[in-house]
Amino acid sequence: MAYRVGVIGFGTVGSGAVKVLLENRSQVARRAGMDVAVSSIADLDWETDRGLDLSQIKKSTDGWELIRDPEIEGVVELVGGTTIAKEFVIGALENGKDVVTANKALLAACGPELFSIAAKNQRKIHFEGSVGGGIPIIQSLYGGLASAQINEIYAIINGTSNYILTEMQEYGHPFDTVLKEAQNLGYAELDPTYDVEGVDAAHKITILASICFNTQVNLNEVYTQGIRDITVEDIQFGETLGYRLKLLAIAKDLGNEVEVRVHPTFIPKNRHLASVSGVFNAVNTYAEGLGSTILYGRGAGDLPTGHAVVSDLIQCAQDSLARRPIDYSNFYTPRKSLRPMSDIIAEYYLRFLVEDRPGVLAKIAGVLGDHNISILSVLQLESEGSQCPVVFMTHEAREGDVLHALEHIENLDVVLAPAKRIRIEKMNSRKN
């Protein structure tokens, strides 16, 4: 008995998944309860040598061939993007096949449509590879963490930006230099927009939040800010004050509302996430009773994500004998609204470039006070000439109030440039 698989898209992850299936065949069969065999692969490129023995596998240039093949029970979509990939996923589901995908962009953008089609056709979409590569976070949410009402998620889920921030922090090189380095090493794409602008992390946190909070999350509403504007200076000021800068994906279930956002964030250096460095990823969930749980591992790469895809195929194979129920309504049912950013509560790092003369600190502090923003600490360094940077760390404040205060402060004649504002997240410090 074998579970037969068709793989559409034979790039990095596709090759990784096929390699895992070929090399770990007995391990996979033991866990699945049957052989899991790649029947066909579809890709336009059959020139590239993937270094795999494909003699037992049909090669195609048309994904639809696999979708129509009655022998194939599970379709792996690794084409990427949201156009043809979407058609393949819908086609496979409507042809009665389960789908495995690592396509977070597709799931975040078209999840409501795709999961409702899956539900209607009583087929499944598995997507362990879509978040955190080799980290078993998705199956844990449906498995070992299934009984927990998770209400906070803090995640480092973009390896490229975490690598860049780690290098900037450790070696003091500016963003552009480190980005080029990352591109040379293959850690960043030639067009790094999705990674450094936070879009990729937004895709992933949209998926996690929807599963944990049982509500549809609209990607378009997710606040997304990348790391392009981050300077070494800010990273170092933060370190001095006891914080490390991370591109953090944050999601909180507040009852009727949820917060889902991605932005550069200072976290206390003694938190475990602060020591997640380089291309590694980590997802920290918090649930009442269960407390804090962290899953850490490789966030990307052919074999880590390939393993995720194969672990999903093992689930598919088991379902082919005995189909377990699954509830996808969270993906297409908007049960909770997204809290507007102006209403979120956070602590803030505010850096100003000011004239070096008496009374400046007091003026800024006065405006902050007028807007109900109280100050935790101030860092003023020796001036270079007539200007100097001043950093205020605030207590918790409403974002809208902070923005109003900054408008006023930037109009002061002693303030020489727009403020640099970075949110601080202490995470569940009181509850750990």
Could you tell me the smallest distance in angstroms from the CB atom of residue 70 to a second copy?
Answer: 22
96: left (phi over 0), alpha (psi -120 to 50) or beta: left
140 binds a second copy (CB under 8 A): yes
Q: Would you call 269 a catalytic residue per the annotation?
A: no
Count interface residues toward a second copy (CB under 8 A): 60
What sign has the CA pseudo-torsion 288, 336, 80, 186? negative
Q: Classify strands 257-268 and 420-424 as parallel, antiparallel or unpaired.
A: parallel
The single residue of 19, 104, 124, 204 carrying the catalytic annotation is 204
Least Cβ distance, residue 43 to a second copy (angstroms): 21
Nearer to a second copy, 122 or 231 (CB): 122
- Rounded distance between C-alpha atoms, residue 201 and residue 162, angstroms: 11
Pick 2 or 326: Cβ nearer a second copy: 326
Interface with a second copy, residue 306, by CB under 8 A: yes
Among 5, 7, 28, 118, binds a second copy (CB under 8 A): 28
Minimum CB distance to a second copy smaller for 70 or for 325: 325
> Residue 339 interacts with a second copy (CB under 8 A)?
no
* Residue 159 contacts a second copy per CB under 8 A: no
Is 387 among the residues that bind a second copy (CB under 8 A)?
Answer: no
Binding of a second copy at residue 353 (CB under 8 A)? Answer: no
Our CB check for a second copy shows the closer of 240 and 329 to be 329
Q: Looking at 27, 193, 386, 387, which residue binds a second copy (CB under 8 A)?
A: 27
- Selected range binding a second copy among 173-181, 198-206, 252-260, 308-316, rule: CB under 8 A: 308-316
Q: Residues 200 to 229: which contact a second copy by CB under 8 A?
A: 214
Of 242-250, 325-333, 357-365, 366-374, which part binds a second copy (CB under 8 A)? 325-333
Q: Which of 2, 58, 121, 136 touches a second copy (CB under 8 A)?
A: 136
Nearer to a second copy, 44 or 321 (CB): 321
**Nearer Cβ to a second copy (307/420):** 307
The answer to whether residue 146 forms part of the interface with a second copy (CB under 8 A) is yes
Query: Is residue 327 near a second copy by the rule CB under 8 A?
Result: yes
Q: Per rule CB under 8 A, is residue 318 in the interface with a second copy?
A: yes
User: Vertex 127, ends 142 and 140: CA angle to 5°?
Assistant: 25
Binding residues (CB under 8 A) for a second copy: these are 16, 19-21, 24, 27-28, 30-34, 128, 134-140, 142-149, 214, 272, 275, 287, 289-298, 303-304, 306-308, 310-311, 314-315, 318-319, 321-327
Which sequence positions are flagged as catalytic?
Answer: 204
